[in-house]
Chain A
Amino acid sequence: GENVEQHPSTLSVQEGDSAVIKCTYSDSASNYFPWYKQELGKRPQLIIDIRSNVGEKKDQRIAVTLNKTAKHFSLHITETQPEDSAVYFCAASGGAGANNLFFGTGTRLTVIP
């Protein structure tokens, strides 16, 4: 099955700086790559996703890039704010007929005011 690795496990940035979280995947047939944000004590919530026919997608301060050749994708958060502090999970779909998502191990982002 699919194997997703996520780095770094923890990340601290100053408010206003950018944050980048990277994930690699193993199954070249994976075609859907969502990112989830989980605030303390809350459920994971989708913040952005990308499909394999697109190289980059932006939504205000958040962007995701995908490199299919290298099999890695990244989350970019610009102009970070304290409310961006949370755990972020990447995921990949796996190959054809995938029934579930395969999650990375998470990155704890702390934005220092």
Chain B
Amino acid sequence: NAGVTQTPKFRILKIGQSMTLQCAQDMNHNYMYWYRQDPGMGLKLIYYSVGAGITDKGEVPNGYNVSRSTTEDFPLRLELAAPSQTSVYFCASSLQGGWSPLHFGNGTRLTVT
């Protein structure tokens, strides 16, 4: 099992550009999550999904969109990138939502200039 795979590892965007962060898991987990982690800070939940076709906002959803067309994939879309979105983005999955461990991807380091 590859676990949770995120691409790209690094990306530099100009202000106003858009991009999609890819996330895929091969553990057949229903629950998937996107977190952002600013330098020296904790994890903030952006969006999550409890299964294909179902998504919900987390703590900091503004400026982002998600979709979940399959169990395996949970892409995060940034529209009109802003410097405040400079961060490390982690995708994660779990078997039983808040009642089981999260498995994190290796992260995407995004810089918006």
Query: Is chain B a partner of chain A in the same complex?
Result: yes
B101 touches A34 (CB 8 A): yes
Taking residues whose C-beta sits less than 8 angstroms from the other chain, chain B's interface range is 20 to 34
A99 touches B42 (CB 8 A): no
**For A49, what are the chain B residues with a Cβ–Cβ distance below 8 Å?**
101
The listed residue with most B CB atoms (<10 A of its CB), out of A36, A49, A100, A105, is A100
- Closest Cβ of chain A: how far from B26's Cβ, in Å? 16
Measured in the bound complex, the distance between the Cα atoms of B108 and A26 in whole Å is: 32
Q: Quick one: given A34-B101, A43-B90, are A99 and B50 in contact (CB under 8 Å)?
A: yes
Taking residues whose C-beta sits less than 8 angstroms from the other chain, chain A's interface range is 20 to 34
A46 touches B102 (CB 8 A): yes
Q: Quick one: given A32-B98, A98-B99, A101-B102, are A44 and B43 in contact (CB under 8 Å)?
A: yes
Name the one of A43, A89, A98 contacting B107, with C-beta atoms under 8 angstroms.
Answer: A43
B106 touches A43 (CB 8 A): yes
Measured in the bound complex, the distance between the Cα atoms of B84 and A1 in whole Å is: 26
The answer to the question of A93 belonging to the interface, with a C-beta cut-off of 8 Å to chain B, is: yes
Some 9 contacts from A to B, beta carbons below 8 A apart, are A44-B43, A44-B102, A46-B102, A93-B98, A94-B98, A98-B99, A100-B97, A102-B98, A103-B43
